[in-house]
Amino acid sequence: MKISLLSVGTEILLGDTINTNLANLGQILYSNGYILSTEITTADNENDIKNDFLKLLNENDVVITCGGIGPTEDDFTKEVIAKALNLDLVIDNEHVAWMKSRWESRGLEMPLTNIKQAEIPKGAEKLLNKNGTAPGIKLTTKNGKTIFILPGPPREFIPLVEEEVVPFLSKKFNKTKKDYEFVIFYNQAESSLSQTISKFKPKNLDIAYLASKGVIKLRFDKNSVNLNDLNLFKENLINNFKNDILSFENIQPSKVLFNKLQSKNLTISLVESITGGNLSSELIKYPGVSNFLIASNTLYTKKAKEIFLGEQANDDWVSLTTNLAQKSMSIYNTDISLAILGEAGPIPSSNYKIGEIFISIIYQGKVTELTHKLRGNRQDIVERSTNNAIWDLLKLI
């Protein structure tokens, strides 16, 4: 059984909108025992939508579309699909009345253009959209294939996937036999990691490497080999990389740090310059972090650092970073204090080279000073600096 997604929207192709529906759909399907086989993103062009839709319909059992069913003139996904399947569109008067009542409740008159949202392909099932005015639509073709035409906004798309698509799949199709496990590595190059793992990897193990900003995610299907081979593989991973493994779960490095702070009941204060608040923003994703993250000061200019310190800032960034960490700890009295400075570029603002990063961590009365030399563009260096700070903290605590 194969499931596909057709994402409609020129804004996605232009980079104006990030296709979070793709990532969310893949995660929701996998967590419920299914795998998304194919995805195509297509522009707001009738011929492109038709051709990509028919291609996916020919190659898959289930086609899910998102986007292009709003009230404006560039919304015509539903119309194109109905025409491709030789289906007439029929106005659902009950839905028109419901939409009008929503507008009237706000003291407004519904524009006539909204009526097109109530048009349903003949023979299709209307799906209740609790978060918008465009209903979802479920179609079954003569040869038994299923089409879900869903709205594009994630707050509308995701609930319809969870409430309509997943229950349908559960009733009609067997779940996949794939069962993925993950190992998250840091401080490893993808090529050297792969070279070492290939020496002890079971022959038939379904495996993949996903590298991003210094973090490598190893994914493998534990059902692709027998249990003895799988256990031996895991033992070899630990024996070869025990000092570079962040997690045996598919979680973000910041979640690993949060879990560690929580398990050890440690408080932390931060002083960020090059990361511009990215480190603290990674931590505040998780409920309960206020028990551990006491404060974070983003000090970007030399003047800001001097105000914080109450004295002139040293041009030696190693000692300056330590001074900032010490000041933070004296103010907030936390178990851990970390300060991070560095050059992100593209034009240096100091005598240091682009990519030179300085981290000072104070923990259990000891000061640890670390220097990293990172590569990439400005955004890469900022994100890698954040990950380096997380990794350095984890190694210490």
Average pLDDT of span 182-209: 94
Q: Provide the token pair at 110.
A: 């519904």
Angle at 188 between CA 185 and CA 193, to 5 degrees: 90
Last residue of a domain, one of 132, 153, 172: 172
| Pairing verdict, β 356-363 and 336-342 | antiparallel
Considering the domain architecture, whether residues 199 and 89 belong to the same structural domain is answered as: no
Q: Helix 253-264 to helix 378-396 angle, to the nearest 10 degrees?
A: 30
Considering the domain architecture, whether residues 257 and 142 belong to the same structural domain is answered as: no
Residue 314 pLDDT > 90: no
Q: Provide the token pair at 234.
A: 């895991």
- Yes or no: say if 324 and 342 are a contact pair by the CB < 8 Å rule: no
Identify the band that residue 348 occupies on the pLDDT scale cut at 50, 70 and 90: confident
User: Which CATH number do you get for residue 380?
Assistant: 3.90.950.20
Domain range for 15: 3-172
Supply the pLDDT for residue 74: 87
Last residue of a domain, one of 113, 137, 172: 172
- pLDDT of 196-249, one tens digit each? 999 999 999 999 999 988 899 999 999 999 999 999 999 999 999 999 999 999
Considering the domain architecture, whether residues 158 and 203 belong to the same structural domain is answered as: no
CA distance 196 to 242: 13
Identify the band that residue 43 occupies on the pLDDT scale cut at 50, 70 and 90: very high
Supply the pLDDT for residue 24: 96
Computed over every residue of the chain, the mean pLDDT equals 95
- pLDDT of 100-116, one tens digit each? 998 999 899 999 989 99
Last residue of a domain, one of 199, 226, 247: 247
Q: Provide the token pair at 249.
A: 């779960």
Supply the pLDDT for residue 73: 86
Largest CA distance in the chain: 78
Average pLDDT of span 141-148: 96
Residue length, the chain?
A: 397
Q: What is the dihedral of CA 15, 18, 21, 24, to 10 degrees?
A: 140
Supply the pLDDT for residue 58: 97
Supply the pLDDT for residue 212: 87
Supply the pLDDT for residue 260: 96
Residue 217 parent element (H or E): strand 215-221
Residue 134 pLDDT > 90: yes
Rg of the chain in Å (alpha carbons): 27
Strand, helix or coil at 38? strand
Considering the domain architecture, whether residues 196 and 98 belong to the same structural domain is answered as: no
Supply the pLDDT for residue 69: 94
Considering the domain architecture, whether residues 153 and 33 belong to the same structural domain is answered as: yes
Considering the domain architecture, whether residues 99 and 77 belong to the same structural domain is answered as: yes
Considering the domain architecture, whether residues 104 and 197 belong to the same structural domain is answered as: no
Instruction: Match 């399947």 to its residue by tokens.
Output: 85
Considering the domain architecture, whether residues 12 and 131 belong to the same structural domain is answered as: yes
Identify the band that residue 257 occupies on the pLDDT scale cut at 50, 70 and 90: very high
pTM, two decimals, is 0.76
For the chain, how many structural domains are there in total?
Answer: 3
Supply the pLDDT for residue 280: 97
User: Which CATH number do you get for residue 112?
Assistant: 3.40.980.10
Residue 84 CB-density burial (10 A; 0-12 exposed, 13-18 middle, 19+ buried)? middle
Supply the pLDDT for residue 214: 87
Q: Provide the token pair at 206.
A: 């379904």
Supply the pLDDT for residue 297: 98
Considering the domain architecture, whether residues 319 and 238 belong to the same structural domain is answered as: no
Long-range contacts of 120-128 (CB under 8 A, 24+ apart): 120/89, 120/90, 120/91, 120/92, 120/95, 121/78, 121/81, 121/82, 121/85, 121/87, 121/88, 121/89, 121/90, 122/87, 122/88, 122/89, 122/90, 123/87, 124/87, 126/92, 126/95, 127/160, 127/164
Instruction: Name the amino acid, one letter, at 277.
Output: G
Supply the pLDDT for residue 379: 94
Average pLDDT of span 176-204: 93
Residue 29 pLDDT > 90: yes
Average pLDDT of span 327-355: 95
Average pLDDT of span 317-332: 97
Considering the domain architecture, whether residues 236 and 277 belong to the same structural domain is answered as: no
Considering the domain architecture, whether residues 292 and 314 belong to the same structural domain is answered as: yes
Considering the domain architecture, whether residues 119 and 208 belong to the same structural domain is answered as: no
% of the chain surpassing 70 pLDDT: 100
CA distance 52 to 20: 20
